[in-house]
Chains A and B, each alone.
Chain A
Amino acid sequence: MSTPTTPPANGDVSGAEITLDSVVKRYPGQRTNAVDSLSLTIPAGEIVMFIGPSGCGKTTSLKMINRLIEPTSGSISIGGEDVRAKSQDELRRHVGYVIQGGSLFPHMSVARNIAIVPKLLGWDKKRIAARVDELLDLVGLDPDRYRHRYPRELSGGQQQRVGVARGLAADPPVILMDEPFGAVDPITRQRLQDELLGIQRELHKTIVMVTHDIDEAIKLGDRVLILQEGARVAQYDTPDAILAAPANEFVDDFVGSGSALKQLTLTRVSELELTRRTTAKVGERSADAIARAEQAGDSSVVVLDDRNRPVAWRFLRQLRRHDVVQPGDREALVVLDSRATLNDALDTMLTSSHGGAIVCGARDEYVGIVDFDSVTDHMRAIEREAVAHQEAAAVDGGGIPGASA
């Protein structure tokens, strides 16, 4: 297995380690094993992405962790405890499960969907109601507005958010996600990914996610597990290591070429120097905000709500229409999480009339603005660094440090 790296972020890790030990799954009537002796350690508090061609056994491997599929042989443990120690239902109530499209129950309101597992665990009503509101807030849906809605009244992205909230409901240490963002449009997907990273920054769960999108794997994963047919491990390492040194031709093909593009998926917005823009609070006098903006030479103002979350990005002429700064629809505003990739940032900037994108940090709080200049500056700096590194390497006669598989 790979060498352990430092945990991704500060704070308490609430996740649990998952280990798979020579796990085999053979379906009756099939000659080859669907999963052929998979051994793996998933460190606590990390996001591990399972990726591989279809039929490689990645989903089977995921479902064996919560025993939706029982392994033929081998053992799996979560936090040191064998998953067969408890009944299936008991186990699954402590392992979050998020599926493509959210798989919400259409006849239950959003609140009831989220409350299922807490109810099964016998929480009292007050605690459940509080938890539902907390989770809706966490996934960026206003509880008062969405609590009583039915799934069909939500957009695809909103349904998926509720699906994530349902998976988090009982605060499980481990969350399994089966292609959770596969069914939504690219912009919504990017936003959901950013939100997941934001949530993970706060919660530090152990998240195992199956995906078929290598960009998603590289963006979200602390580690990426690339599987070949029969769930044989082609490479299991950090995204940087996989991109820098693919273990074999299969991985190389799978990851694809184009190192500059890869850099775009590998670099996070938080690594850039963000520019400051004049901000205004909702309810503030417009004249004050305009005066500040003019002094700073800005043509637009980022409007923040009372929790410092951006709700709108307005030009000064828009501000002049009202005496006080008007509230905006936070959900209609496209923002970037600080852990979004440069790829996402470029996408978002292209659709923005401001030639930039608002960057948010923890709990959707405003951090700054990223614009084209800062991205291109960063890319140039990387290029210079790479050239310098190559020259140095040529002098040393050394190669790229290898990564283990």
Chain B
Amino acid sequence: MLRSTPTKQASPGVRVQVAGMHKSFGAFKALDDVSLEISPGELVCLLGPSGCGKTTLLRCIAGLERQNHGAIFMGSRDVSILAPQARDYGIVFQSYALFPNLSVEQNIGYGLAGSARDIVRRRVADMLDLVGLTGSEKKFPGQLSGGQQQRVALARALAPAPSLLLLDEPMSALDAQVREHLCTELRTLQQRLGITTLMVTHNQEEAMLMADRIAVMNEGRIEQYATPQSIYENPETPFVANFVGQGNWLSFEANGNSHAQVGALQLRLADTVPNRASGRLFCRPESICVNPVQSEENLFAAQMREVTFLGNRCRMSFEFDNLPGQPLTAEISARHLPSLGTAHIKVALPPHSLQVFT
């Protein structure tokens, strides 16, 4: 749907820096000392549960909320206290906020007032071409589908050639079916234009799919700011581990240099842990090996409890014989399921899959 037009952004992406942001609503701390740096042309997702402050941060950057403390830089320009009109960004809202009484053409040209008419017309045509809606100029937003409305909103935001694009939950008003497709499309477009983009979402799949880097937020703070891969594989805080993807938790006490005692089980760890330390181990379901062919470390007998069929894979809950009452979850491929046979299984927790939180 997105045609590869020769259209390019006049102003390339800008570096955005946010430093020491605080914002309170009454007694509620929406932002608590948040700092963030976005490289030129990068797409960063603010990910977190509702109320974590991600939308507040976006609105502060947009100038729609005023932070109590903190500074915002776009390039070398300090925009901390500028009015929204003076900041040079485009924004797509969750509701799109398309003006219903203006046609698609007028909506996209809304931010171009003051330019010559033929320049506006050409720019609008370029933008429609860019989002693949050529021919819809005279339609009104109410006559478009949700996905088309989102494209118009995007075209309208990009029309004045801003140096920063802000996306506020742009996918949440869409059906799950079109969502993934539009995510990919939006990402392709963003990369081609090279525009610095900040997107707010509570949907981790969207964030994984689109972002160069994800900032996971919780209670007004950034818990971790890293690439999707390292967010998933090396969560820095228990919150991130819990919020992104699935996981198992086991309380342990360190026992020797790189061994952990979990109940009656002794597990070898990949990292060294100070002796006598205690804490929790975290393990992704898909990194657990069930009935491994080769011998593995940390291999124990277990009982299978329940299997949930998820299509291409299965989620299985099991209990170690020596750790009763603590069900864990593993994910295995669906093809692998028949080979398990009885409920008596062997389960390995490979050392490198065990992450230590003390």
> Do A and B come from the same complex?
no
